[in-house]
Structure 1
């Protein structure tokens, strides 16, 4: 991967330059060789951080590798969730990593902030449960016998620590602005909505104990949902996001639906300030506006991945290509699977 891309991903990993100017990415080439963040000097060199974030980084150096993994998780999940849409979460060699889409108060920006805040909480919590961090471990508040009669045991995910760290590190940039701007309020709301996608879907996992697999005794623990489910939840919130505007209620500035006929949004909903562009055409003046020329589409689909919508009415071209798949797979005792290679011709449709 190009060193500039790696450098920009490192910066996104620290969740600080989603809205920063492209020129600020130049110095990051020297950080592309940094495999981990394990000393206070590294925190000082991450000049995109505000002072409060530098202090948190220094105080929690061991946590920062989990933050970095969380940000890559956010990028991967964003690209999965939007793989069939006109805007497909492509990363750029320049900053911002996702282009100007996230510098505007659009639905797409709402999703990026929500998934980023959620991914940091998720990755830090996972690091706690795995014993990677000295600062935290399993959630020991979950213990004893439950009202359902099973014994709390095992390692319950310490989601409270992960969420608290995400709030302190990710949100501090918006809070430093005094929470007076509409965009700061939007970002803070969507950050919290992302974390609630985990909190509201914690699950109970159990293991049975007893003779011959009977469940005479059952021990259980609390676990986070898979991150794919978190991404699915936030994507659903994206589809139903509420357009809002800032109003003053008493002495407090709040976000309310722009259309008074819409019901108020909840803490778990995503909100945005301005409509999204159509993403149809490449615009060299707008980084991230890549257009849909050359994108694959589904000829038979009537949804957004269909050629009519994906190609914005420009039409598409079809070509036959040969693909090789595994087929006629058989399980052999013991213990491997042997497959044949089958070749077939398939039609690929791409937007003009």
Structure 2
């Protein structure tokens, strides 16, 4: 179900030539954007956008058309993928499911996305948001030939502080949202089933989340810094604000079921609240992610670092699912007592600090396994 989403993550995939000559997408980690751009430019120059786009797994026809027509935007899509995966991993760093990416899997997260769970809802929303954020930023920074600053912010306007003139370069959120919708939603619009309806809803939540955090930045003009005249423009907020917001939406996600005609949602059970346009929605309960379960896409928590004292989700009791933890004494070397020396260097000492690191125990083998 995540093929359409997986291809959004172009920049985390090294585009590599197989020995048979076809292209595949692998996940050797998250390379730097400069490495990815050089790689992509080299292959596009040698093979052409059509060959590249035709050999990316998971693209539907409409996505291939957009890829071939706008290869420069695909670089921004890739940059957005790196950004949203990094943000997903930040938001869930202290949880059993920590947004781990899988090597050699163009769906990025593997089978965990087959379940219509809260986690799938969050991933679809944050990925859509990441694409909007990256394309919008690329437009305003002059990196794309098809778009630039927001053409609609012109003339005079007013806010709580009074009148101001639109000026500068407002971030072109309109283009970012429009392209992200066309590209990311293309697969779901073709399928027309309950899961596609869920994905489209969560994609829209991600796009609107970026728009929610547009901020107004202004520059004052006047004698001695007085603000008799203001020139203002709209700017994207840091993507962390979008990530924090969508994480709260994840915590309050609404379990739903599709209506009989498949055109909308209804509450999963009597007494559950109805979902609004800003809610993330899901169908299926999540696994507990305690143990390795390839069928469910769970990697388990064996070996995960936990906090001995925390009562939260990063605490050993919750993270380790009651299995207990191992403690290892580790010596860490850090820079300390840094001083500035004229001119112009900062010199630091090396400090050694011995700490206890707690990691979750692996689950014990079931008794029947010992009897076979």
In the alignment, structure 1 residue 219 sits paired with structure 2 residue 219: no
Separation in 1, partners of 2:27, 2:357: 40
TM-score (norm 1): 0.87
Q: Which residue is equivalent to 1:45?
A: 55
SS of 1:36's partner is: helix
Q: Is the 8 A contact 1:99 1:287 kept in 2?
A: no
> Which of 89, 114, 117 is 1:79 aligned to?
89
Structure 1 residues 340 and 213: alpha-carbon distance in aligned structure 2, compared to 1, 3 A threshold? farther
> Which of 101, 110, 116 is 1:99 aligned to?
110
* Count of aligned pairs between the two proteins: 330
Separation in 1, partners of 2:258, 2:93: 32
Q: Is the 8 A contact 1:138 1:156 kept in 2?
A: yes
In the alignment, structure 1 residue 320 sits paired with structure 2 residue 350: no
Shift in Å, 1:240: 0.8
Uncovered stretches (5+) of structure 1, i.e. residues with no partner: 1-8, 18-25
Q: 5 Å matches for 1:163-182? A: 163-177=177-191, 179=192, 181-182=193-194
In the alignment, structure 1 residue 183 sits paired with structure 2 residue 195: yes
Separation in 2, partners of 1:215, 1:164: 36
> Which of 164, 167, 172 is 1:158 aligned to?
172
Q: Which residue is equivalent to 1:28?
A: 24
Q: 5 Å matches for 1:141-290? A: 141-147=152-158, 148-177=162-191, 179=192, 181-248=193-260, 253-283=263-293, 285-286=294-295, 288-290=297-299
Q: Is the 8 A contact 1:90 1:288 kept in 2?
A: no
Separation in 2, partners of 1:141, 1:157: 10
Separation in 2, partners of 1:176, 1:151: 44
Q: Is the 8 A contact 1:99 1:289 kept in 2?
A: no
SS of 2:163's partner is: coil
> Which of 69, 73, 80 is 1:59 aligned to?
69
Superposed CA RMSD = 2.5
SS of 1:267's partner is: coil
Q: Is the 8 A contact 2:256 2:275 kept in 1?
A: no
Structure 1 residues 31 and 327: alpha-carbon distance in aligned structure 2, compared to 1, 3 A threshold? closer
Shift in Å, 1:112: 0.8
Q: Which residue is equivalent to 1:6?
A: none
Structure 1 residues 67 and 349: alpha-carbon distance in aligned structure 2, compared to 1, 3 A threshold? same
Q: Which residue is equivalent to 1:4?
A: none
Q: Which residue is equivalent to 1:351?
A: 360
Structure 1 residues 201 and 129: alpha-carbon distance in aligned structure 2, compared to 1, 3 A threshold? same
Shift in Å, 1:41: 2.5
SS of 1:168's partner is: helix
Separation in 2, partners of 1:139, 1:237: 28
Summarize deviations over 1:182-239 as a string: whole Å, max 9, x none.
1011100000001111111211112233444443432211011111111111111111
Shift in Å, 1:334: 5.2
Shift in Å, 1:167: 0.5
Summarize deviations over 1:103-133 as a string: whole Å, max 9, x none.
1101111111011111111111111001011
Q: Which residue is equivalent to 2:31?
A: none
Uncovered stretches (5+) of structure 2, i.e. residues with no partner: 14-21, 29-35, 362-372
Shift in Å, 1:144: 1.7
Shift in Å, 1:335: 4.9
Q: Which residue is equivalent to 2:349?
A: 340
Q: Which residue is equivalent to 2:16?
A: none
Q: Is the 8 A contact 1:100 1:287 kept in 2?
A: yes
Structure 1 residues 348 and 252: alpha-carbon distance in aligned structure 2, compared to 1, 3 A threshold? closer
Q: Is the 8 A contact 2:327 2:356 kept in 1?
A: yes
> Which of 98, 107, 122 is 1:111 aligned to?
122
Summarize deviations over 1:229-278 as a string: whole Å, max 9, x none.
11111111111101110113xx5621122133232222111011000000
